[in-house]
Amino acid sequence: MMAYHTNVRRGTPPVRYLRWRPPRSRVFTEYACRLPAPAVSCALHAPGLDWPQLWGAVQHELREARFATSTLLLYRRVLRAFRAFAASRPVQLIHRPASVTCETVEAFIHEVNRDGASWSWVASNIAVLRGVFDKLAGLRLTIRLCTPKRPWRLPDILAPGEIARLIQAANTVRDRLIVGLLYGCGIKVGELCALRWQDINTGRRLLTVRFARATRTREVPIPDALQVILEAGVRQCPAGDHVFPGALAGKPITARLIERVVRGLADAAGIGKKVTCMTLRHSYAVDCLRGDMSVRQLQQLLGHRSLFTTMGYCRYILPAGVVSPADRFFSDSAAPCSAGTLLPGHPPASRNGECDGMDIRSMALALLPSAFCVLPRSSFPFPALEPKRSVFFVMIRTCLRDRFLALRRAVLNTS
């Protein structure tokens, strides 16, 4: 697969160069032979090339393509780790890049993944090795490697009780206003830092939120609990000043300091979750949807360009009227047993599909132990269950232990 890459920076003309990228998220065995031959930029796989010369050639190509300095540091870090891994392999000592094989690259990625690395670090290692050996050298050493995808997790949100504890933990008006604006208006931490007193319209009870670099603006309603303190601030402070000034004159508070304030309030409130400014924004969005707000209205309040970004919060909302099967099982309106239904300790159903005059609820209540109704104090915590060891495992462990003791006695006797 061929792809054009355009790298645009300020003050520099765009550099457009051809790079080869194999399709992602697949394992290629038969499809690899049908791929077009990649464009070779330099002979990095020459027999007389050593590792310092390899890094010099790679660094030259990256600088010609005007990659960032952080990208160069990433390439150097990964190549150093790969060189140390290749030189420490007991099967084959790889002193030059020409000795690198596809199995060496795959073993290195498996070693990185075995150490418990994150998906992004594994993907970065694959991208670096693919860029060096496949795109620049024209080889196909990473053709069988699949780039890991970002895990799909739900972000943490706070319950109303946790929000109340977070506000109560704030001892100053500034900290309470920070939490109130982040949760009550659903703004980002960068938008909170850029907030000025002229952006607060207490008459209409609206807050003008300016996007990054002031490219877009939107209006969000001000909560009633913050109306009094914001009116006092508008009367006493100049319109052009920041609501939360920083240490330098004319500069706002930094986002890192606000994150530190929110994290400190969460620790003081005893909240076990990892609470950030985005956690309060997520909690605001979920609570708005639970309050029968439409997704379109929430999109305007959050400032999302795409509606699909806002629809991600719908994963927290359960459909109305969801009833657990266990509740229907023990309810009074439970239907008779169907054919083939078996409960432990009770005879099977008759041929006509009925349970001989006994419904499911009666059978369940008859089988329900009395210990479920009255729990003694010694029930919790539950005792730890030890795994069952097979006879073969016990035999292997005994043999290894006996062999170790025999070798130890031999060493002690000879010494």
Structural domains in the chain, CATH included, are 2-136 (no CATH), 160-316 (1.10.443.10)
Q: How far apart are CA 366 and CA 358, in angstroms?
A: 11
Residues of the chain with pLDDT under 50: 1-36, 38, 333-355, 357, 369-371
What pLDDT score was predicted for residue 385? 60
What pLDDT score was predicted for residue 271? 92
What pLDDT score was predicted for residue 54? 85
Q: Read off the tokens for 255.
A: 């986002």
What pLDDT score was predicted for residue 11? 46
What pLDDT score was predicted for residue 381? 66
Q: Read off the tokens for 306.
A: 């795409």
What pLDDT score was predicted for residue 247? 83
Q: Enter the pTM of the model.
A: 0.62
What pLDDT score was predicted for residue 102? 86
Q: Reduce the secondary structure of the chain to three states and give it as a string.
A: CEEEEEEEECCEEEEEEEEECCCCCCCCCCHHHHCCCCCCCCCCCCCCCCHHHHHHHHHHHHHHCCCCHHHHHHHHHHHHHHHHHHHCCCCCCCCCHHHCCHHHHHHHHHHHHHCCCCHHHHHHHHHHHHHHHHHHCCCCCCCCCCCCCCCCCCCCCCCHHHHHHHHHCCCCHHHHHHHHHHHHHCCCHHHHHCCEHHHEECCCCEEEEECHHHCCEEEEECCHHHHHHHHHHHHHCCCCCECCECCCCCCECCHHHHHHHHHHHHHHHCCCCCCCHHHHHHHHHHHHHHCCCCHHHHHHHHCCCCHHHHHHHHHHCCCCCCCCHHHHHCCCCCCCCCCCCCCCCCCCCCCCCCCCCCCHHHHHHHHCCHHHCCCCHHHCCCCCCCCCCCHHHHHHHHHHHHHHHHHHHHHHHHC
What pLDDT score was predicted for residue 372? 52
